[in-house]
């Protein structure tokens, strides 16, 4: 399995993601946003940061960068696409995931560890966790307030597309949504940062099972 | 050349936390009569177009493609004919 971490101008978690993936023995490399081909990769990661300064809206400019047509192609081919934080925002702007991330209900940047509940563990992104398990994962965002209209929310719930919910909703997200996937189950986005919780030295390893889940999903597909 | 002034606001159903914070600050500053504050975005875009209808459909097209997110935002715009700037 070969993975790509997309580096947009303004990404700042690209090397954290690269490090975490390497930690799990994954053959991974950085691919820049000006590239336009991802055919050789099986999984694609959109990291956190402030792509293109997050001007206009978070992810709004990044969504039109050359690499995004390759990301969309990969998504349509059923490859795994993972967006964390800014990556999640870009995936919603690109229409690869429904909804939008708005300014936090209490405006301001939140940087802390928060409890997440695993509400669907039958996914490529959470199968190494137990159902309803509570994990602690860091968040670091000013625009993480998940919004979608009633119709989309009902659809998300009925199809079990919500994977992680906040235990103590920090940003006003509807239905406490912290992470969702598309209906097909190959595109996933979350605001919290599992890549910052993989090493004992950082005091938190609750993100490890996120990467183990992705690995086992890939191995099962092969 | 046309000048488009584009005003982007949240749809009425969307909570506007920035507007709410500004409102509470204004209240603290003793502007007691303030009823509502909405924070939006304002764009000025100059474009060449053969007539006002063409300009108008162009503005609509790029605003919906990039300037707004239709999940939560709506917009209106004014168009006016402006003189071409003299090249330096």
| pLDDT tens series, chain A, 222 aa | 899 999 999 999 999 999 999 999 999 999 999 999 999 999 999 999 999 999 999 999 999 999 999 999 999 999 999 999 999 999 999 999 999 999 999 999 999 999 999 999 999 999 999 999 999 999 999 999 999 999 999 999 999 999 999 999 999 999 999 999 999 999 999 999 999 999 999 899 999 999 999 998 666 554
Alpha carbon of A127: minimum distance to chain B alpha carbons (Å): 31
DSSP A204: B
Q: Flag if A148 and B71 touch (Cβ within 8 Å).
A: yes
Using CA atoms, how far residue A164 sits from A16, A60, A178, A191, in Å, is: 21, 24, 5, 10
Query: Which of chain A's residues have a Cβ under 8 Å away from the Cβ of B15?
Result: 105, 172
Look at residue B43 and tell me if it is in a domain: yes
Can you give the pTM of this predicted structure? 0.92
Q: Flag if A147 and B69 touch (Cβ within 8 Å).
A: no
Cα–Cα distance, B58 to A85 (Å, whole number): 33
Q: Flag if B17 and A93 touch (Cβ within 8 Å).
A: no
Facing residue for B72 by CB, picked from A102, A106, A172? A102
3-state secondary structure of B56: helix
pLDDT of B24 higher than 90: yes
Look at residue B87 and tell me if it is in a domain: no
Cα–Cα distance, A154 to A137 (Å, whole number): 26
User: Is residue A53 a contact partner of residue A12, using CB atoms and an 8 Å limit?
Assistant: no
Domains along chain A with CATH numbers: 2-221 (3.40.50.880)
Residue range B47-60, pLDDT digits in tens: 999 999 999 999 99
Nearest CA in chain B to A90: B69
Residue range B5-21, pLDDT digits in tens: 999 999 988 988 889 99
Percent of chain B's residues with pLDDT above 90 = 85
Alpha carbon of A6: minimum distance to chain B alpha carbons (Å): 21
Using CA atoms, how far residue B48 sits from B5, B44, B45, B63, in Å, is: 14, 14, 10, 16
Chain A interface residues (partner B, CB cutoff 8 A) = 56-57, 60, 64, 93, 99-100, 102-107, 145, 147-149, 172
CATH number at residue B64: 3.30.1280.10
Helix axes A14-23, A208-221, angle to 10 degrees: 70
Q: List the 6-45 stretch of B: residues with Cβ below 8 A of A.
A: 14-15, 17-18, 21, 41
Q: How many domains does chain B have?
A: 1
Q: Flag if B67 and A100 touch (Cβ within 8 Å).
A: no
3-state secondary structure of A48: coil
* B71 part of contact set with chain A, CB < 8 Å: yes
Alpha helical stretches, state H, chain A: 14-23, 67-76, 86-93, 150-158, 208-221
Nearest CA in chain A to B42: A56
Q: Flag if A107 and B14 touch (Cβ within 8 Å).
A: no
Provide the pLDDT for residue A39: 97
Alpha carbon of A192: minimum distance to chain B alpha carbons (Å): 21
Provide the pLDDT for residue A91: 98
DSSP A49: B
- Looking at the DSSP assignment, which residues form a beta bridge with residue B43? B6
Look at residue B88 and tell me if it is in a domain: no
Farthest-apart Cα atoms in chain A, separation: 44
Between A and B, how many CB-CB pairs are < 8 A? Answer: 32
pLDDT of B31 higher than 70: yes
Q: Flag if B71 and A100 touch (Cβ within 8 Å).
A: yes
pLDDT confidence of B83, banded at 50, 70, 90? confident
Give the domain range for residue B7: 2-81
Cα–Cα distance, A91 to A17 (Å, whole number): 17
Containing H/E element for A131?
none
Is A195 noted as a catalytic residue in this protein? Answer: yes
Q: Flag if A172 and B17 touch (Cβ within 8 Å).
A: yes
Query: Which of chain B's residues have a Cβ under 8 Å away from the Cβ of A105?
Result: 15, 17
Look at residue B26 and tell me if it is in a domain: yes
Look at residue B50 and tell me if it is in a domain: yes
- State the complex-level ipTM: 0.81
């Amino acid at each position: 399995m070969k993975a790509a971490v997309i580096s947009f101008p303004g990404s700042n978690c690209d090397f954290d993601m690269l490090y975490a993936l390497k930690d799990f023995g994954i053959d991974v490399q950085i691919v820049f946003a000006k590239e336009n081909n991802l055919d050789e990769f099986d999984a694609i990661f959109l990291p956190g940061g402030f792509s293109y300064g997050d001007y206009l809206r978070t992810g709004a400019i990044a969504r039109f960068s050359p690499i995004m047509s390759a990301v969309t192609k990969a998504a349509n081919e059923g490859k795994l696409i993972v967006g964390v934080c800014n990556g999640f925002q870009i995936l919603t702007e690109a229409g690869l995931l429904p909804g939008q991330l708005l300014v936090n209900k209490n405006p301001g940047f939140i940087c802390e560890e928060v409890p997440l509940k695993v509400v669907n563990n039958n996914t490529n992104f959470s199968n190494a966790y137990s159902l309803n398990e509570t994990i602690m994962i860091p968040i670091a965002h000013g625009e993480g307030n998940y919004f979608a209209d009633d119709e989309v929310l009902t659809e998300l719930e009925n199809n079990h597309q919500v994977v992680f919910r906040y235990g103590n909703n920090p940003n006003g997200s509807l239905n406490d949504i912290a992470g969702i996937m598309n209906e097909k189950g190959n595109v996933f986005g979350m605001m919290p940062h599992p890549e910052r919780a993989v090493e004992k030295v950082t005091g938190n390893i609750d993100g490890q099972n996120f990467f183990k889940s992705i690995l086992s999903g890939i191995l099962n597909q092969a | 050349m046309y000048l488009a002034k584009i005003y982007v606001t949240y749809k009425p159903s969307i909570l506007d936390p920035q507007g709410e914070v500004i409102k509470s600050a204004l209240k603290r500053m003793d502007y007691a009569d303030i009823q509502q504050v909405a924070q939006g975005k304002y764009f000025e875009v100059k474009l060449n177009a053969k007539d006002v209808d063409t300009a108008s459909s162009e503005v609509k097209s790029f605003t919906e493609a990039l300037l707004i997110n239709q999940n939560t935002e709506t917009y209106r715009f004014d168009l006016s004919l402006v003189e071409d700037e003299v090249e330096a």
